[in-house]
Structure 1
Amino acid sequence: MIKLINISKKYKDEVVALDNLNLEFKEGEFIVLKGVSGSGKSTILSLIAGLLKPTSGEVLVDSKHISKLADHFCSEFRRENIGFIFQKYNLIPTLSVRDNILLPLVPNNLDEEVLEDKLHHVMKIFNISHKENSIVKELSGGEQQRVAIARANVNNPKIILADEPTANLDTKLSLQFIEIMKKLKSSNKTIVLATHDPLFFDLDFVDKIIEIKDGKYCANNT
């Protein structure tokens, strides 16, 4: 489903983020990208989402050459296929839970009834319905995380990309997040999660753990 073929990524100052990387993930797999900060994990996620272009090589998702798409087509691809969960949530703190979750749907011009159905569906799944009209900055860290997960899933994407999602959570909330990921995995979503949190390294529902070091693939699959 997702292929990175001979991927290299250099930034303007000639820093090498990825070095001739080859990876392949199948539909419905839960992949953990393991590595220290700066190893290239986040760059991989950004390439899969079409947020970055590789310096060389190809990125394919469902046989579509994401790395060759024009920017406006990349935006359309993300809206239809990708749910992104960020380390710092990337919510708008002065807006309500409702408005934050609905933001990804704004460009789709959906009917009000459809919007309401999608909103209440994900709020129920991720146990945040009781906070629908609360302002995000007034929520706890765990509640904000659930809002971010609901927002990432409001379009029912095939692929979930998560970048250090438990970095700001304590152990209890991290374990709750893991249970949410297990639920998403059971619904046949393809999940690629970048982390150095050891809680993810012994989970029975993770299909592969891939270590990234200095922009290269270093680990065996689980």
Structure 2
Amino acid sequence: MIKIKNITKEYILNKNNTIKALKDVSLEIKEGELIVIKGASGSGKSTLLSLISALAKPTSGEIIVDDKKISKLPDNFASTYRRDNIGFIFQKYNLIPTMSVAENILLPLIPLNPEPEDMSQKLEIAMKMFDISHKKDVLVNNLSGGEQQRVAIARANVNNPKIILADEPTANLDEKLSLRFVEIIKELKAFGKTIVIATHDPLFFGLDFVDTEIELHDGKLI
């Protein structure tokens, strides 16, 4: 489903300073697989997720998703690709604090201009799936950390994307909430989602429902 071919990503800080975040990385991910990418901070994990989601473009190499090259898409086509295919769970949630739970979850649907009935149905399914229905009209800045994460997960799934990307999803959670997140990921895999998690949390290492663990070190795949 996802083919990453000889990807290199460079960030130019100034004319004398270039950082190579990824160095000639190749990887294939099958549909329905759960992949854990581990590595220390700065190893290139988040960069790899940003390339798969077309939030960034590689310096060289290519990424193919469902037989479509997405690594050099113009911004407007990249936005459409993300809208139709990707659910992204960010480390810091990226919620809008002055909007309600329902409004935050519905944000990915707005560009689709769906019928109100369809919008309402998808909202109800997403909230029920991640146990946040009782907070529907509460402003996000009045939620606990665990509740905010459930909102972020519901938002990532409201449009039923094929691919779920999670960047250090347990970094701001205590042990109890982290264990609950692991259970949620297991449920998502059972629904047939293709899932890529970037983490240095050992909680994800050695899980029996993870298909593959890979490690990045200094931008290289080990």
Q: TM (normalized to structure 1)?
A: 0.97
1:145-164 correspondence runs (5 A): 145-164=149-168
Give unpaired runs (5+ residues) of structure 1. Answer: none
- TM-superposed deviation, 1:111: 0.6
Amino acid at match of 2:3: K
2:9 is the alignment partner of 1:9: yes
Displacement of 1:12 after TM fit? 1.1
Residues of 1 paired with 2:169 and 2:90: CA distance?
6
Would you say 1:128 and 2:129 are equivalent positions? no
Distance, in Å, in 1 between the alignment partners of 2:206 and 2:90 is 22
**Structure 1 residue ranges (4+ consecutive) displaced by more than 3 angstroms after TM superposition:** none
> What amino acid does structure 2 have at the position aligned with 1:102?
L
**Structure 1 residue 111 and structure 2 residue 111: aligned?**
no
Cα-to-partner distance string for 1:161-215 (whole Å, 9 max, x where unaligned) = 0000000000000000000000000011000000000000021100000000011
Does 2:167 match 1:171?
A: no
Which amino acid is 1:10 matched to? Answer: E
1:15-26 pair list within 5 angstroms? 15-26=19-30
Segments of structure 2 that go 5 or more residues without pairing to the other structure are: none
* Secondary structure of residue in 2 paired with 1:11: strand
SS in 2 for 1:87: coil
Partner-residue secondary structure (3-state), 2:209: coil
How much identity, in percent, do the aligned residues show? 68
Aligned counterparts of 1:74 and 1:68: Cα–Cα separation in 2: 9
- Matched letter for residue 19 of structure 2: V
SS of residue paired to 1:93: coil
Q: Pairwise mapping of residues 63-142 of structure 1 onto structure 2 (< 5 A)? A: 63-142=67-146
> How far off its partner does 1:216 sit?
0.7
Give the superposition deviation at 1:68.
2.2
CA distance in 1, matches of 2:109, 2:190: 24
Structure 1 residue 64, shift from structure 2 partner: 0.6
TM-score by length of 2: 0.97
State how far apart, in whole Å, the 1-side matches of 2:126 and 2:158 are.
6
The whole-number CA distance in structure 2 between the counterparts of 1:67 and 1:201 is 29
1:30-58 per-residue CA deviation (whole Å, 9 max, x = no partner) reads: 00000001000000000000011100000
**SS of the residue 1:121 aligns to:** helix
Q: Distance in 2 between matches of 1:193 and 1:68?
A: 23
- 2:185 is equivalent to residue 181 of structure 1: yes
Residue in structure 1 matching 2:56, options 33, 52, 61: 52
Please tell me whether residue 211 in structure 1 is matched to residue 215 in structure 2.
yes
Aligned Cα RMSD in Å?
A: 0.5
Distance (Å, rounded) in 2 between the aligned partners of 1:203 and 1:142: 22
Instruction: Give the whole-Å Cα distance in 2 for the aligned partners of 1:37 and 1:98.
Output: 33
- Write the distance in 2 (CA, Å) between the matches of 1:3 and 1:61: 6
